[in-house]
Amino acid sequence: MKKDKNRIYIFDTTLRDGEQSPGASMNPKEKIIIAKQLENLGVDIIEAGFPIASEGDFDAVRQISREIKKCQVAGLARANKTDIDRAWQAIKVAAQPRIHTFISSSDIHLKYQLKKTREQVLKEAIAAVTLACSYTDNVEFSAMDATRTDRDYLVKMVEAVIAAGAKTVNIPDTVGYAIPDEYGRLIAYLFANVKNIDDATIAVHCHNDLGMAVANSLAAVANGARQVECTVNGIGERAGNTAMEEIVMALQTRHDLFGLHTNIKTEQIFKTSRLLTQITGIPVQPNKAIVGANAFAHESGIHQDGLIKEKSTYEIMTPQSVGITDTHIVLGKHSGRNAIAQHYKKMGYDLAEDQLSKIAARVKDLADIKKDIYDEDLEAILYEEIYRGKDKYTLVYLNVVSGNVAIPTATMELQVDKEVVRDAGFGNGPVDATFAAIRNITKTNYQLLKYAVNAITGGSDAQGEVTVQLRYDGYSVIGRGAHPDVIVASAKAYINALNRLEFLQENVKAKKVKVE
């Protein structure tokens, strides 16, 4: 089949580089939910994880490899036999497996981190690709810190790994140092000087340290790169990676300029973004392009006037094109099971009977205390009831006394594994007292890094969405909770963070390696 020269392949690394965002660790169940949504979204390659990093990572990559059929599934490996063998063990069950192996190429990394010569590193890169190719012909090689690498050495390395069999060669801006014009010229230089460059797809992987990840990726594709590595909501190490939604919509909206296209079903973008936020608890800033709450909100009178007359005056893409529909009142106290199922279906979720039973009960409870129920409320319930992994701690009962004369006191019961434990806590206010009660019951005392409350929808009976971030031994985790009573939402968020910490302690702490 003839290769489509104008096709940009989307390589999603939300589950690998994205998971390296502080607080973004996901359990295997959550990773599979994200992977399935990435498949619905139409990404070409899912980087499922770094199998050598821990047993948890290995299992998650293997499970994703089993479940995903329409996308390629990549496992990351450093350029050595142990990593590559482990990555292959995890992905070999995939319908379309890919080994992604990498080694640093810049002198700065060679001298201070690897303590190896250029010749040694070149040899290791070739050996790694050769070994990976003995397992599969779908091998990607990344020259880590490529943008700070001597150009002619980079040419030599790219040429050598292509000759060894790499079908994709990635030129990462690992530290987010590049500037668009300069990065575009680097890609053009490789096309002009690597003799066998047409035998591989050139990929780009940009970090956002100077806020230029998307711009750099665009400069690269304008100069011949055809695979873009990115993450949903731009999450990732430090300032994050190229945001999937931004690069995809830039290519689509400016098709006149680039003449390039992806396979992404853009109407799935918003749902994917919300799902990731629900799972990781990492909120999207309101002014974030494409998926932020204000991305399509027009405040100024002049803009509103123009929009009423003709949408294209101030709208370069429609909210519908990224899957944002009007938030409308959907369900209330008298909605039946069928109406609830139908509405979830319209939102893109097909619920099994047992899932519907759990959710219908929650929707009815919510309808008792909240007049109108919106899509966002339904999403929050879905997440809490269905998507969350098995929890160690569950809230059973909470009673809080507060006011300007009482000492704020919280009495609480938590289910801890199979046992119900009761205790109380005092504090400066109702939230503080609630957290003290949780700490007493769970006998934990982690540093609270962040506490934030948002209203999920409008109205004074809106559900409060609380985010809590706790620190543990150099790691941090984020918990989320939603309820019309913000104190209950706060308790749920804190408990969710503790449950995530449990998972982190069991699995992520065992990680031996971390990459950019």
Of 168-176, 377-385, 397-405, 413-421, which part binds ligand KIV (CB under 6 A)? 168-176
Nearer to ligand KIV, 88 or 141 (CB): 141
Distance in Å, CB of 106 to ligand KIV, minimum: 10
| Total residues at interface with ligand KIV (CB under 6 A) | 11
**17, 30, 245, 465: which one contacts Zn ion (CB under 5 A)?**
17
Q: Does 205 bind ligand KIV (CB under 6 A)?
A: yes
Does 142 bind ligand KIV (CB under 6 A)? Our answer is yes
Give yes or no for residue 516 binding Zn ion (CB under 5 A). Answer: yes
- Applying CB under 5 A, the span of 12-20, 29-37, 182-190, 387-395 interacting with Zn ion comes to 12-20
CA dihedral 165, 171, 175, 177 (to 10 degrees): 160
407 closest CA partner among 437, 423, 424, 427: 427
Alpha carbon separation from 119 to 3, 110, 113, 183, 367 (Å, rounded)? 34, 11, 16, 25, 68
Q: Which stretch binds ligand KIV (CB under 6 A): 166-174, 403-411, 412-420, 453-461?
A: 166-174
**Beta carbon of residue 322, minimum distance to Zn ion (angstroms, whole number):** 25
Please give the residue whose beta carbon sits closest to Zn ion in the complex: 17
Regarding 174 and contact with ligand KIV (CB under 6 A), the answer is: yes
Options 64-72, 167-175, 259-267, 279-287: segment touching ligand KIV (CB under 6 A): 167-175
Residue 57 found at the interface with Zn ion (CB under 5 A)? no
Smallest distance, Å, CB 174 to Zn ion?
6
Note whether 145 binds Zn ion by CB under 5 A.
Answer: no
**Residue number, 206 or 466, with CB nearest to Zn ion:** 206
Segment 30-34 long-range contacts (CB within 8 Å, at least 24 positions apart): 30/279, 30/387, 30/388, 30/389, 31/60, 31/63, 31/64, 32/60, 32/63, 32/64, 32/67, 33/275, 33/279, 33/387, 34/232, 34/275, 34/276, 34/279
Q: Does 17 bind ligand KIV (CB under 6 A)?
A: yes
- The 3-class secondary structure across 137-164, one letter per residue, is CCEEEEEECHHHCCHHHHHHHHHHHHHC
Report residue 56 as tokens: 């948890």
Kindly report the length of the chain: 516
CB 61, min distance to Zn ion, A? 17
Q: How far is the CB of 404 from Zn ion (least distance, A)?
A: 51
Of the candidate spans 14-22, 295-303, 309-317, 334-342, the one that interacts with Zn ion by CB under 5 A turns out to be: 14-22
**Residue numbers 98-137 binding ligand KIV by CB under 6 A:** 102
Helix (H) and strand (E) counts for the chain? 17, 14
Q: Are 289 and 305 in contact (CB under 8 A)?
A: no
The pair phi, psi for residue 13, each rounded to 5°, is -115, 25
Placement of tokens 């990840």 in the chain: 213
Query: How far is it, in rounded angstroms, from Cα 139 to Cα 313?
Result: 46
Among 293, 307, 421, 515, binds ligand KIV (CB under 6 A): 515
Q: What is the separation, in whole angstroms, between the first and last Cα of the chain?
A: 36
Q: Is 379 in the site for ligand KIV (CB under 6 A)?
A: no
Which parts of this chain interact with Zn ion (CB under 5 A)? 17, 516
